Amino acid sequence: MLNYIIRRLLLIIPTLLIILTINFFIVQIAPGGPVDQALAMIENGPEAGQVLLPGSESSPTILKEQRKESNYRGARGLDPEIVAMIEKQYGFDKPIWERYINTLRQYIQFDFGNSFFKSESVLSLIAKSLPVSISLGLWSTLIVYLISIPLGIRKAVKDGSRFDFWSSTLIIIGYAIPAFLLAVLLIVLFAGGSYWDIFPLRGLISNNFEQLDFWGKVKDYAWHICLPTIAMVVSGFATLTMLTKNSFLDEIRKQYVVTARAKGLSERQILYKHVFRNATLLIVSGFPAAFVGILFTGSVLIEAIFSLKGLGLLGYEAIIQRDYPIIFGTLYIFTLIGLITKLLSDLSYMIIDPRIDFEARN
């Protein structure tokens, strides 16, 4: 197993390189880059002076002065010297291959640089945002598993019954409701929208969180994360529940179950001592992949609706603003987490079923 883990860890390096390379060149040649964004901010309104250039603490003042000095523009456009200065500040005065090499050199050292439009380093922004996304993804995945597996087992045992029919109806209805629509409905009902003001509308913790005792912090955190988690998990029950049901049904119909019944074992013993381990192989080993799926795809809109400053929302805002350091930084972290969790998923196969040996594969 150790040799397999080492090979997989080494495989992460070229995989990261290929993903970053493809995305680097796609993003770099896309129109409307950070230079265009900065020039648009200079040309438009008072807010234009708030753009921050990398490596310059006094960038807002500089851009305000540039905007005042270039009032003659309009149909004639901006002064070419201003454009050249902004291109140099963003590093676009260098050829694309040189920017690519510099990016790889920095990322090897986990140096993601500074945000183009925020007065912080990318690493600090990611460090602030990652706990929010991990909290949502981890709790959502745990709740889905804790409910779906027992429900799927029950549906397999009661296959074709009234309970099986109505539970399938409810989970399919939940699956059909978009998470963002449910989030808006929960806000309207329980967060002071039009009915009850029970849960907070935004944030993951209260302003006085640091002054609370341990149990007070736990209650405050649970109070804030309740609605976002509900919005994310309702649509996640269907797939896992039906997978659990079908896995158990498939195992229940096999010959070794018939033999166990013939030996006089009770249905409970057959179900939990023989069927359970074989039926849950795909389910339990898929936990890392399910966590990554929820973390990457399910949290962006939820974070936006509940004003949670997570990694998904940070990456989305960076794409809108063409903030390349944040785009590549979040992509790097997402890819790294995805590859590591994929390795954990494969290892969980081997732990659950020792007969599986990835090292024996050619």
**pLDDT on residue 45:** 46
How does pLDDT run across 83-103, given as a tens digit for each residue?
777 777 677 777 888 888 888
Q: How confident is the model at residue 49 (pLDDT cuts 50, 70, 90)?
A: very low
**pLDDT on residue 57:** 43
pLDDT > 90 fraction of the chain, expressed in percent and rounded: 2
Q: Which domains does the chain have, with CATH numbers?
A: 32-109 (no CATH), 123-360 (1.10.3720.10)
What would the mean pLDDT of 229-253 be, rounded to a whole number?
85
To the nearest 10 degrees (0 to 180), the angle between helices 324-352 and 122-157 is 40
Name the burial class of residue 245, with classes exposed (0-12), middle (13-18) and buried (19+) by CB atoms within 10 angstroms of its CB. buried
Both structure tokens of 129: 């945002």
Please report where in the chains the tokens 């390349």 appear, as a residue: 324
What would the mean pLDDT of 180-193 be, rounded to a whole number?
84
How many residues does this entry show for the chain? 362
Question: Helix or strand or coil: residue 343?
Answer: helix
**pLDDT on residue 361:** 55
Using an 8 Å Cβ cutoff, are 185 and 179 in contact? no
What would the mean pLDDT of 220-228 be, rounded to a whole number?
87
Q: How confident is the model at residue 27 (pLDDT cuts 50, 70, 90)?
A: confident
Largest CA distance in the chain: 94
Question: Helix or strand or coil: residue 275?
Answer: helix
How does pLDDT run across 290-313, given as a tens digit for each residue?
777 666 665 778 888 888 888 878
Q: How many CB atoms lie within 10 A of CB 279?
A: 25
Tell me: pLDDT of 71 over 60.
Answer: no
Using an 8 Å Cβ cutoff, are 39 and 83 in contact? yes
CA neighbor of 82 nearest in space, from 235, 72, 125, 360: 72
- In whole numbers, what is the pLDDT of the chain averaged over residues? 78
Phi/psi for 235 (5° steps) reads: -80, -5
Q: Is the model more confident about 245 or about 320?
A: 245
What would the mean pLDDT of 17-44 be, rounded to a whole number?
76
How does pLDDT run across 312-358, given as a tens digit for each residue?
788 888 888 788 888 888 888 888 888 888 888 777 777 776 666 66
Tell me: pLDDT of 34 over 50.
Answer: yes
Both structure tokens of 99: 């920017």
Q: How confident is the model at residue 165 (pLDDT cuts 50, 70, 90)?
A: very high
Q: How confident is the model at residue 78 (pLDDT cuts 50, 70, 90)?
A: low
